[in-house]
């Protein structure tokens, strides 16, 4: 059994796509072959590390949101100067304080009431003030990049990918597109969203002649994205149109803007546009959008011999690729969105709606 076949069996076993007979046979194979069992354990550990890293990023995001939303100085002043408002404190601030901070304040109030200390003004004010000062110290520490002593996120790093690119959602239920050269010869593919969450993805169809590949997220932790805010433009765009792309040339998302400079690509390739905007290798597979938020192409390459020249496969060929996908390759419906909700929005508003639908594509090879 090749490494690629073994990896596929392991992933099918973990995502529950094996039938009962296949699961039994695979479990016997693991039991009787120490090398296969070792490979299985390594793969499980790798997936666990990916999930831990996503959880850590999500925790940091939540804690940073706490710091941004709480005005701790105003909160201390309100409790100290206006003791009669203590009961209102929970009501007035529960929508702004995180779950951890809310439970802390509520617990302090509950203890004061039960023990009768609420009638003792001195102990009441000092006890509550002490708790809030403690909260203030922890939140300040969070803002500086640390964590409260009571919360210890798991330290996990995502293993480096052999190759990386960009992809974007075609549907809300997990179908994405990227460039074929991004995932070519991949043993395993993962996609990472703007929140840092990573999901396993499967290559379900490729069109090497158009340098396009269709992926499907098949991770049990993935949740539907909601309606895709853009559509794929069927007609050709005009020269001089302002265009932009959004992708992952590095660890963070990068926005690039420019214009459509030619209706043909390198060596007069009629399947591509030439665009004058800065892109790097990691941008491959990212969406090229016009001012209205229509996807008019997919970033494919940068021509080093032509300064400032980049290329994008026209969206009409993406539509052809989707039409060519065999029905038995689709485990879910692949219905493209025909409504563009980005039209009429400012560029900043478009980017805010777009960010959850563009993914970093990570490719791993043995």
- Looking at residue 357, its pLDDT comes to 97
User: What is the rounded average pLDDT for all residues in the chain?
Assistant: 79
Residue 267 DSSP SS3: helix
Task: Write out pLDDT tens, residues 184-206.
Answer: 988 899 999 999 999 999 999 99
What does the alpha-carbon distance between residue 277 and residue 301 come to, in Å, rounded to a whole number?
A: 11
Q: Are 272 and 318 in contact (CB under 8 A)?
A: no
Higher pLDDT residue, 179 or 66?
179
User: What average pLDDT does the segment 302-328 reach?
Assistant: 86
- Looking at residue 317, its pLDDT comes to 96
pLDDT-based confidence at 163, cuts 50/70/90?
confident
- Looking at residue 81, its pLDDT comes to 46
pLDDT-based confidence at 136, cuts 50/70/90?
low
- Looking at residue 343, its pLDDT comes to 93
Q: Are 282 and 275 in contact (CB under 8 A)?
A: no
User: What average pLDDT does the segment 13-29 reach?
Assistant: 83
- Looking at residue 189, its pLDDT comes to 94
Task: Write out pLDDT tens, residues 116-128.
Answer: 544 444 444 455 5
CA atoms within 13 Å, Cβ hemisphere of 278: 5
- Looking at residue 280, its pLDDT comes to 83
Question: Please, what is the angle between helix 34-69 and helix 3-15, to 10°?
Answer: 60
User: What average pLDDT does the segment 309-338 reach?
Assistant: 93
What does the alpha-carbon distance between residue 260 and residue 276 come to, in Å, rounded to a whole number?
A: 6
Q: Please report the beta strands in the chain, taking only residues with DSSP state E, as ranges in sequence order.
A: 163-169, 175-179, 188-192, 198-207, 212-217, 242-247, 254-262, 272-276, 287-290, 295-302, 310-314, 358-364
Taking CB atoms within 8 Å and a gap of at least 24, the contacts of 171-174 are 171/228, 171/332, 171/333, 171/334, 171/335, 171/336, 171/337, 172/224, 172/225, 172/226, 172/227, 172/228, 173/224, 173/225, 173/332, 173/333, 174/216, 174/217, 174/218, 174/222, 174/224, 174/332
- Cα of first residue to Cα of last residue in the chain, in angstroms, is 14
- Looking at residue 32, its pLDDT comes to 84
User: What average pLDDT does the segment 348-352 reach?
Assistant: 94
Our CA dihedral for 345, 350, 352, 358, rounded to 10 degrees, sits at: 160
Q: Considering the entire predicted model, what is its pTM? A: 0.57
What does the alpha-carbon distance between residue 179 and residue 240 come to, in Å, rounded to a whole number?
A: 25
- Looking at residue 236, its pLDDT comes to 92
């Amino acid at each position: 059994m090749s490494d690629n076949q073994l990896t596929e069996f392991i992933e099918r076993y973990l995502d529950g796509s094996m039938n009962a007979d296949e699961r039994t046979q695979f479990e016997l194979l693991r039991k009787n072959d120490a090398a296969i069992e070792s490979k299985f354990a390594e793969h499980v550990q790798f997936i666990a590390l990916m999930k831990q890293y996503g959880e850590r990023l999500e925790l940091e995001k939540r804690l940073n949101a706490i710091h941004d939303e709480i005005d701790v100085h105003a909160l201390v002043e309100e409790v100290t100067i206006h003791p009669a408002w203590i009961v209102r404190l929970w009501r007035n601030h529960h929508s702004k304080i995180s779950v951890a901070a809310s439970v802390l304040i509520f617990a302090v109030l509950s203890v004061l009431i039960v023990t009768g200390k609420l009638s003792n003004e001195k102990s009441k004010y000092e006890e509550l003030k002490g708790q809030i000062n403690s909260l203030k110290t922890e939140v300040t520490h969070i803002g500086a990049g640390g964590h409260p002593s009571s919360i210890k996120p798991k330290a996990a790093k995502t293993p480096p990918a052999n190759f990386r690119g960009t992809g974007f959602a075609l549907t809300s239920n997990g179908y994405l597109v990227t460039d074929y050269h991004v995932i070519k010869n991949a043993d395993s593919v993962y996609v990472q969203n703007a929140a840092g969450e990573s999901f396993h993805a499967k290559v379900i169809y490729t069109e090497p002649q158009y340098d396009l590949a269709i992926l499907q997220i098949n991770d049990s932790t993935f949740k539907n994205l909601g309606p895709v805010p853009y559509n794929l433009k069927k007609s050709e765009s005009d020269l001089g149109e302002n265009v932009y792309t959004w992708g992952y040339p590095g660890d963070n998302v990068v926005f690039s803007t420019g214009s459509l400079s030619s209706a043909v690509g390198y060596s007069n390739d009629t399947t591509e546009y030439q665009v004058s905007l800065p892109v790097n290798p990691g941008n491959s597979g990212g969406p090229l959008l016009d001012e209205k938020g229509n996807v008019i192409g997919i970033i494919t390459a940068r021509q080093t011999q032509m300064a400032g020249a980049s290329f994008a496969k026209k969206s009409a060929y993406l539509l052809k690729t989707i039409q060519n996908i065999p029905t038995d390759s689709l485990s879910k419906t692949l219905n493209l969105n025909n409504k563009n909700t980005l039209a009429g929005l400012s560029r900043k508003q478009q980017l805010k709606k777009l960010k959850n639908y563009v993914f970093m594509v990570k490719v791993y090879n043995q």
